[in-house]
Structure 1
């Protein structure tokens, strides 16, 4: 297993809301409350977190739309454990983003069921649309068709989010960013949260083409940022699909090396969206292939070193809490 060299925690008193992490218990991977709290307790001041769907604990023996609700039930239980205060001050899973098939049947019933199961913590839906023509690029876990976000069936379900007071997390690869822009323009009343700086690819046919990928990605990010209903998550660059190759190393990179690699992508997003529409994220444990949780947040703090105190509060906590309405938590 690769290891990370321990580092001194930078700016340990800076309050953080981690707006993107997962929980799961798979045959070869476990990341539940104990593992999460070990990471959030590794030195940074993580006050609260938002869980994002990841196929954890679906109900068995029921149709898919109902099965997805099982994940929300499970996460709400974890959030209730954390809210008791018996596990420390971090409020884990204070917001929940679940999965629904927005292109499927019974969307209204599915959304209402998630809201009930979330007991005041359910905030939005992620229906991943990540797809690429290359067989070297694994599609999202939702097995989306090409052009999902433009399909009439998907858009009919997407339109229902407004009446349920829910936001939408978009997960796609960088060649699909224009699809998110079209969706945002068609539904300006629905908040769209762009995951992982838009999903830049650096493997398969995109390997060795960093400058070309960056130029295309930057153009489309700047276009998307013109839509005021879109917010961006600043992270996810530790994933193997981004092509940095850190996961192949026996000793994982330092926060300084990570900051150097990630800075152009994250600074471009901050310049385009501004701190009121940008939020740093961990994407843990997925990004754990490239760095430890503590090193990841050190890297993000290095990138934000030149920001003002007000800008840091927005990027590290306040924008996430506002967008996910965490001050409304525990109101069923």
Structure 2
């Protein structure tokens, strides 16, 4: 049975620090590269056979005053890693879709160039809770991106470029997500399944 892994991560915090990954990575697994990943996936039990994968951004989101992680450089790093192995892989990168749309498009183009034909979509983690910090992911500034006109313009921009959006949010944010992706002015940019599951193997 041929398998596409729709969501995996690579990192090397010795060369590319990313404090968003937390202490466990810093203490126990500072480096996990393409050869490590493929060695792990080679242990899949019969009859499973890995034939393709999608790398999803490794929590590189950033906010004013937070840790600065070069998101385009991550895309370049991942593309070089998978390119060296010849393993078929797509890349879902991070772009802050709540910023000026012209700037978001410029950064998106930089990701496309860095991905060398592998860019398939964008993930911008949206998990935020007004009262429980345990339910707010690193560097997610606030919980109303889904209602933000600039964010919606950013989603439309992805549609114009034929890219998916990986939605990740808390349950109390689902209604806003449904309104943004399923209905109204911006909903027709996407097949809704691609909004919610941007790492779909059909887009590799």
> Which TM bucket (shorter chain)?
0.7 to 0.9
Residues 28-67 of structure 1 aligned to structure 2 (within 5 Å): 28=27, 29=29, 30-43=31-44, 44-55=48-59, 67=70
TM-score normalised by length of structure 2:
0.76
Shift of 1:151: 0.9
Distance 1:46 1:171, change over 3 A: same
Is the Cα–Cα contact under 8 Å of residues 123 and 165 in structure 2 kept in the other structure? yes
In the other structure, the counterpart of 2:99 is 104
Deviating beyond 6 angstroms after TM superposition, the runs of 4 or more aligned structure 1 residues are none
SS at match of 1:16: strand
Residue 22 (structure 1) aligned with residue 9 (structure 2): yes
Residue 230 (structure 1) aligned with residue 187 (structure 2): no
**Gapped runs of 5+ residues in structure 2?**
14-25, 63-67
Is the Cα–Cα contact under 8 Å of residues 128 and 140 in structure 1 kept in the other structure? yes
Distance 1:190 1:144, change over 3 A: farther
Is the Cα–Cα contact under 8 Å of residues 98 and 126 in structure 1 kept in the other structure? yes
* Residue-pair matches, total: 176
Over aligned residue pairs, what C-alpha RMSD do you find?
A: 2.4
Shift of 1:99: 0.4
Shift of 1:55: 4.2
Shift of 1:162: 2.1
TM-score normalised by length of structure 1:
0.49
**Gapped runs of 5+ residues in structure 1?**
1-13, 59-63, 84-90, 192-227, 234-276, 280-319, 327-332
| 1:48-79 deviation per Cα after TM superposition (whole angstroms, max 9, x unaligned) | 110000146x9xxxxx7x93111111111012
Query: Which of 77, 87, 109 is the matching residue for 1:74?
Result: 77
